[in-house]
Structures are given as structure tokens and as C-alpha cells.
Structure 1
């Protein structure tokens, strides 16, 4: 797993925490939002780990299923969101829908092409050599299906190319953290006035 990929993954939640604090939010808000089936997130992380660091397992699974291992990763995350969305407050639910939509877009283009296609002109803009392939990516060409949903957005700061789905996932994650932290502020305000939180609802 490259450092740039790691950075793009952790930046949205970290940015959400920073912006949440700047807006007066508190991490205690996460205690107010019930999270179900958290084990699914760990399963998705394990599959993602196997994709990058266990090539023999990856080849075995991909040969057996005929699809990229990224597809089951997205499917597991979507299942986790489906379990939780109906129990979350309306505003937080909207951010969850954005994440679901972004993950669905990524899963669709990966499922159609075997791996995430990337635009070679966009990759050249961030200084990447042409024609690079990895367990996750392959260069787009005339046979690529739904190429517009692939990695087409250059991110020069981290020398990475992102997809529209990545933007929705990142933006939705950041917004979700901010909104959850705001619930922590709402819960603390009645307590500061000496009013039980339950009585303030």
C-alpha cells in the first residue's frame, strides 16, 4: 500500500475531526450514534490487506471469482452501511448515502473492468510513469467501460489520481465525522446548564 493511498484514506476522517473541533464539536458525539456490525469493517480491512500483501491469496480468490478483490471490499462496506443507515439521524444518513453512492460507483467500474482503470493523461499530470499496473489499477484504453468513473482526477499533492467515487466517499466521510461530533456538543450543552441530556431532548 503506497503512502499516497494511505494519506488519501486517512485525510477525510482526520479533516472531519479537525473541522468538527473548530465548529465546537466533540468526539463524545460518537457515543451518541450507535454503530452496528463493526466487525464488517474489520473484515473489509482484512480483505484489503490480503489484496496488497498476500498476492497468492489474491490470485486464488480472483481466479475463483473472476473479479477483483476490491469488489468484495466495497460490498462488505456497503453491507455495513446498509445495516447502520436506517438507525442514524437524518443528516448523518445523508452523508452515509453519499459514501454508499461513491462506493457503488467504484465497485461498478472495477467490476466491469477487473481493476480500477486510470486516465493516463491524469496520471502524467501528477508525474506518474505511463502504463503502470498494480493489483488495484490498470491504464484505461478504448476498451475500458465507464472510464469516466475511473481514476480521472489528478491530486498533485500526493501524486495520486482519484475517482469521482473517491471524492464522494472522502467528502461523505468528512461530513459524517463533523455531524457526529456536533451531536457531542449538543449533548454537553444541557449538562453544562445542569440539565440532564435526556430532559433536554
Structure 2
């Protein structure tokens, strides 16, 4: 897993926490957001890890079973969000829906092509060789399906290419963290009810 990929994964939640604090939010706000089936997140992380560091597992899942590993990751995350969305407050549901839409877009283009296609011109713009292939990516060609949903957005700061789905996932993650933290500010600002007077 490259450093630039790691940065893209961890930046949205960290940015959400920073923006949340700037907006007066508190991490305690997450206590008011009920989270179910957290184990699915760990399963998705394990599948993502196996994609890069367990070629035997990748061979069985991707080559034998014919299931793209990234599509499997997105499907698990989609399932986790589907379990939780209906229990979250309305504003947080909107942020969660953006994450679901982004994950669905990525899963769709990966499922149709086997790997995430990328724009060779975008790869060249961030200094990557435009014809490289790997377990995750392949250059878009004439027969690529839904190529505009692939990695087409250059991110020069980390020399990475993002997809429209990545943008929705990142933006939704930031918004979800900020909205949850602001609930902590509201709970903190709510004064405790005054004690009833004692009658002698």
C-alpha cells in the first residue's frame, strides 16, 4: 500500500475532526450516534489488506471466484452503511448517503471492468507511468466501461489519481465527522435541569 493511498484514506476523517473542532464540536458527539455492526468495517479492512499483502487470497477471490477485491471491499462498506443509515439523525444520513453513493459508483465501475480503470493522462499529470497495471488498477482503453467513473481526477499533492466516487466518499466522511461532533457541542451546551426546590 503506497503512502499516497494511505494519505487519501486517513485524510478525510482527520480533516473532519479538525473542521469539527473549528466549528466548536466535540468528539463526545459520537456517543449520540449509534453505530451497529462495526465488525463489518474490520472485515473490509482485512479484505483490503489481503488485496495488497496476501496474493494467495487475492488469487482465490479474484481469479478463481471472479470477484474483484475492491468491489468486495466497497460492497462490505455499503452493507455496513445500509445497516446504520436508518438509525442516524437526518443530517448525518445525508452525509452517509454520499458515502454510499461514492462506494456504489466505485464498486460499479470495478465490477464492470474487473479493476479500477484510470485515465493515462491523469496518471501522467501526477508523475506516474501511464501504462502500468496492478491488482487494483488498469489503464482505461476503448473498451473500458463507464471510464468517467474511474480514477480520472489528478491529486498532485499526494501524486495520486482519484475517482468521482472517491470525492463523494471523502467529502461525505468529512461531513459525517463534523456533524457528529457538532452534536457533542449541542449536548454540552444544554444546561442540566435545575434541581427541584426542597420544601421544609
TM-score by length of 2: 0.95
Deviates more, 1:61-70 or 1:94-103: 61-70
1:123 is displaced (CA, Å) by: 0.6
1:84 alignment counterpart: 84
Aligned partners of 1:195 and 1:124: how far apart in 2?
62
2:35 alignment counterpart: 35
Aligned partners of 1:136 and 1:154: how far apart in 2?
17
Q: In the comparison of the two structures, how many residue pairs are matched? A: 194
Greater C-alpha Rg: 2
Structural mapping, 1:114-153, within 5 Å = 114-153=114-153
2:197 alignment counterpart: none
Structural mapping, 1:12-27, within 5 Å = 12-27=12-27
TM-score by length of 1: 0.95
Aligned partners of 1:195 and 1:76: how far apart in 2?
43
1:66 is displaced (CA, Å) by: 1.1
Residues 104-131 of structure 1: per-residue CA shift (max 9 Å, x gap): 0000000000000000001101111121
Cα RMSD (Å) = 0.9
Aligned partners of 1:67 and 1:170: how far apart in 2?
25
Aligned partners of 2:122 and 2:193: how far apart in 1?
55
1:153 is displaced (CA, Å) by: 0.2
1:195 is displaced (CA, Å) by: 3.3
- Asked whether 1:195 is paired with 2:193, we answer yes
SS of 2:161's equivalent in the other structure is: strand
Structural mapping, 1:98-117, within 5 Å = 98-117=98-117
Aligned partners of 1:161 and 1:8: how far apart in 2?
10
Aligned partners of 2:5 and 2:87: how far apart in 1?
31
2:47 alignment counterpart: 47
Aligned partners of 1:162 and 1:61: how far apart in 2?
25
1:132 is displaced (CA, Å) by: 1.1
Residues 110-164 of structure 1: per-residue CA shift (max 9 Å, x gap): 0000000000001101111121111110111101000000000000000000000
SS of 2:148's equivalent in the other structure is: helix
1:72 is displaced (CA, Å) by: 1.1
Residues 6-37 of structure 1: per-residue CA shift (max 9 Å, x gap): 00011000000000000000000011100000
